[in-house]
Structure 1
Amino acid sequence: MVVCTLHLIALNDGVSVPTFLANLRASNVQPIFIAKVLRWIILPSHQSTGRLLARNKSWDLLLGLAPDATIPAALAASDIDAQWTVSYGVSAKVLSGYRALTSQLHAAAASARVPLPRTADRDTSQDLESSPELLGWINELPTDLRHRPVTMLNLLAFNPGKKDQYVRYGKEFSSRVGSAHGGRVKIAARVATGAQGTAAEEGWDEIAYVHYPTLNHFASMLSNEEYQAVNKEYRLGALKDTFILCTMEVGDDGEVLGQGRAEKL
């Protein structure tokens, strides 16, 4: 087991994503992955809200760094407006196989197409259900981006005694209700207290970083009755708090990875 870090980053005004990534490479920092933040799917209700949501903060990037890798202080001072960090323990096998798994999932996503659901019953997606607002946002994205792979960052805090209930949700997700819509957990790990970490002290227990072939696949899952039955039975009551952040992984140049024409975000 090794301790890695996730870094949510808001860049200073005038600092573009490609500029920051070029400066990061020049500092000899090689992330496990780089992802462009698209939007919140679920907002945290009370944990870490001051740091994550203050001043309606817009996050630009999610960086996954290997053990002992850090963002140099000089680079943070020149390019970064705000940062929120999560330390987590993960097996060396998951870490070493991450890029190969991502390439495999992106290749499979190239031929994956599903239609966007037409309707939604809920006004909000805070319970991980489909909503008109979410479907409208997806529909307004450029077609190229709607057909790119996405990865959802989930932070989880469990109600006392409810961890086993969430484990049942995870098993149902991986075996049928999530996997049927292309959902694949790439990283699932316990939050750790690290030198840079604050998430454990703020009450978070675990992270899950979950791939979907496209946003349409994710929305289709949320609209599925079988998925929602599992969601309501095992997931909702197990969580004291959670957030989900939608991201798209990018290369060193800031271009979105996956099938289709490269498009800078």
Structure 2
Amino acid sequence: MPALTLHLLAFNDPTLDAKVFVNQLKVSPGVHVVVASRPRHVVVQPTTLDTNPLLTQRWDLMLLLQPTQQQQQPSIIPSSLQSAISAEYRILAGIPSKLLTSFPERDANLKHQAPPPLTGSLDEIRRSSKESSQNLEVSPELLAFMDKLTVEHNKPVTMLNLLHFHHPDGKKNYFQYGQAFIPVAGKRGGNAKLVGNVVKPPSAAQNDSRARYDQPEQEWWNEISIVHYPSIRHFCDMLAGADYQQINEKHRLKALRDTFLLCTTEFDVEEGRPKL
């Protein structure tokens, strides 16, 4: 199972174009850019794990990187680009080879397929939204973000999930959630296109962002997922649906001890995908 690195990056220069950084990274030896996207909005905030820096830092770039040769340096990001980075949050994740092999074709198909119609759940939820989106429900703040992003980017969005499970049954409960999620999200065009288990780095010299190298797995993130939706409206339509909230309450909420959910937009979609 190949180990990839997930990165959240902040730049020294806030005016630096993240797309320029990504293009330089793409021509660097030893690294393959699997996902590159612009962080837009934190939908669900972590409550115990790494709230600082996850919530206190303004992130400019999300990357999922795959090494293409033996890594000698602590970071897969070349030293020539390191000077542009002021802060980094890094996680090592094992993603099945089968998912990675089929990813380019699946990803392209998802980004170019016609979006399904909304179910109408959003119309009702605008009149009775929740105070917060912490339990993955529609809140006034999320609706305001949805309306703003729809004007600016009425195209596919990519959700990053960091997952920390209750021990010992959380992973089992989340698997049940994942199975139920497939048809519920699928009718809104949602698709968990990459899922991986968080793994320990091979050495302390190549450590990730966990507090210490020997930190037990029960005390840090256990899994990551990267999920596609045809638009932010489709994502919110799902959250507003009774069918989703049923599986959310039955499986997801009791599985998770902590979570971080970040809405991003991928650069290839920003540049080349026709508006919905």
Q: Which bin holds the TM-score, normalised by the shorter protein?
A: 0.7 to 0.9
Which whole-Å deviations, capped at 9, do the CAs of 1:39-73 have from their partners, x for residues lacking one?
Answer: 101111110112212xx311111111113571112
2:197: which partner in 1?
190
Give 3-state SS (helix, strand or coil) of 1:141's partner.
helix
Give 3-state SS (helix, strand or coil) of 1:124's partner.
coil
- State the alpha-carbon separation in 2 of the partners of residues 186 and 48 from structure 1: 25
- State the alpha-carbon separation in 2 of the partners of residues 216 and 100 from structure 1: 24
Which whole-Å deviations, capped at 9, do the CAs of 1:136-193 have from their partners, x for residues lacking one?
Answer: 1111235351x2111111011111122211111111001x222222111111111011
2:61: which partner in 1?
61
The TM-score with structure 1 as length reference comes to 0.87
1:87 aligns with one of 74, 84, 92? 92
- State the alpha-carbon separation in 2 of the partners of residues 18 and 151 from structure 1: 16
Give 3-state SS (helix, strand or coil) of 1:127's partner.
coil
Report the count of equivalent residues. Answer: 253
1:27: which partner in 2?
28
Q: Percent identity?
A: 35
Pairing 1:209–2:226 present: yes
Pairing 1:71–2:72 present: no
1:127 aligns with one of 102, 112, 135? 135
1:151: which partner in 2?
158
Structure 2 counterpart of 1:60, which letter? D
1:249: which partner in 2?
266
1:101: which partner in 2?
106
- State the alpha-carbon separation in 2 of the partners of residues 214 and 225 from structure 1: 19
How far does residue 19 in structure 1 lie from its aligned partner after superposition?
3.0
Which whole-Å deviations, capped at 9, do the CAs of 1:103-141 have from their partners, x for residues lacking one?
Answer: 000111x44443682414201101000111111111123
Which whole-Å deviations, capped at 9, do the CAs of 1:239-264 have from their partners, x for residues lacking one?
Answer: 1100101111113xx94453329xxx
Structure 1 counterpart of 2:110, which letter? L
Q: Do the aligned residues in 2 keep the contact of 1:249 with 1:257 (CA within 8 Å)?
A: no
2:46 aligns with one of 44, 54, 66? 44
The TM-score with structure 2 as length reference comes to 0.84
Q: Do the aligned residues in 2 keep the contact of 1:144 with 1:260 (CA within 8 Å)?
A: no
Structure 1 counterpart of 2:87, which letter? A
5+ residue gaps, structure 1, are: none
1:16: which partner in 2?
17
Give 3-state SS (helix, strand or coil) of 1:247's partner.
strand
2:175: which partner in 1?
167
Give 3-state SS (helix, strand or coil) of 2:92's partner.
strand
Which whole-Å deviations, capped at 9, do the CAs of 1:166-225 have from their partners, x for residues lacking one?
Answer: 111111001x22222211111111101123423584611011111111111100011001
- State the alpha-carbon separation in 1 of the partners of residues 121 and 10 from structure 2: 30
Give 3-state SS (helix, strand or coil) of 2:187's partner.
helix
- Root mean square deviation, CA, Å: 2.2
- State the alpha-carbon separation in 2 of the partners of residues 35 and 218 from structure 1: 17
- Against the structure 1 CA distance between its residues 255 and 107, is the aligned structure 2 distance closer, same or farther, given a 3 Å change threshold? closer
- Against the structure 1 CA distance between its residues 2 and 30, is the aligned structure 2 distance closer, same or farther, given a 3 Å change threshold? closer
Structure 2 counterpart of 1:221, which letter? M
1:117 aligns with one of 113, 122, 126? 122
Give 3-state SS (helix, strand or coil) of 1:151's partner.
strand
Pairing 1:179–2:186 present: yes
Pairing 1:224–2:224 present: no
- Against the structure 1 CA distance between its residues 232 and 76, is the aligned structure 2 distance closer, same or farther, given a 3 Å change threshold? same
- State the alpha-carbon separation in 1 of the partners of residues 121 and 61 from structure 2: 26
5+ residue gaps, structure 2, are: none
Q: Do the aligned residues in 2 keep the contact of 1:248 with 1:256 (CA within 8 Å)?
A: no
